[in-house]
Amino acid sequence: MAPVPQAAIQAPDGLEQVLRHPAVWRGRAPAGGGGPVVASGNQALDEALPGGGWPLGGLTELLGAVHGAGELEVLMPALATLTRAGRLVVWIAPPHIPYAPALESSGLVLSRVLWLRPAGVADALWAAEQVLTDAGGGAVLLWADEVGDRQLRRLQLAAERGGALGVVFRHIGRAAQPSPAMLRAEVMARPGGGALRIIKCRARPPAAPIPLAGEPANYSTPPAWPMDGYRSGP
């Protein structure tokens, strides 16, 4: 059978209209437009990300083998920018208590930081979805390793509605699972300083690992630390 000319392949009008939407990305095509972003503070990383920074209105997955490999440090400049702009940054179910002095020294405005401790994964996902929808361009940091494709898709859609930076922290063992997240990257711990390896990035092929400056800072604290300037969930 002779091959069908590409020009003869036409999508129905309704489908073509959907495919023209700027939020729809065709895997082999460059992304159009480019949505809003917040600069990462790392020039090499900004150059590797579409639009020049972390995507606002999209979900990012940061994967790693251990906590504290630099996954928070790589976000700090962006989080500081958002809080200084009056946007809310919400931490949901972090594995350790956030260390307020370290966050403040990184430039975050503590009055714009909210720490939630949900009772379980279901509550954490529900809270993340609500906050992403109403974040008003802020950020949600969610630690939820056992989360499925359906839940990630709901978070991605919520981030789009709220124009927020949504970040989910998961184990690198989840990298083989499909994900609707706009951006996926691995934070790798290495002697003398970690690196960020982009696994999936709309519009651009994965770049070479991007070095992260210095050793990761400590952004957690023992439970006895007084949480001045923080609001805590139930």
Task: Determine whether 224 is exposed, middle or buried from the number of CB atoms within 10 Å of its CB (0-12, 13-18, 19+).
Answer: exposed
pLDDT exceeds 60 at position 212: yes
Distance CA 82, CA 141 (A): 13
| Res 63: pLDDT | 94
Average pLDDT over residues 136-157: 91
The pTM of the full predicted model, rounded to 2 decimals, is 0.78
CA dihedral angle for residue 166, residue 167, residue 168, residue 172, rounded to 10 degrees = 140
Residue type, 103: L
| Res 211: pLDDT | 86
What is the per-residue pLDDT across 158-204, written as a single tens digit (0 to 9) for each? 999 999 999 999 999 999 888 999 999 999 887 777 889 999 887 66
What is the per-residue pLDDT across 1-31, written as a single tens digit (0 to 9) for each? 455 455 444 555 555 554 444 454 444 444 4
| Edge-to-edge strands, sheet with 113-116 | 210-211, 195-201, 183-188, 58-64, 165-171, 139-143, 89-92, 113-116, 231-232
What beta strand segments (E) does 70-201 contain?
89-92, 97-98, 113-116, 139-143, 165-171, 183-188, 195-201
What is the per-residue pLDDT across 72-85, written as a single tens digit (0 to 9) for each? 989 999 999 999 99
Average pLDDT over residues 37-52: 91
Tokens of 233: 């969930």
pLDDT exceeds 70 at position 52: yes
What is the per-residue pLDDT across 95-106, written as a single tens digit (0 to 9) for each? 888 889 999 999
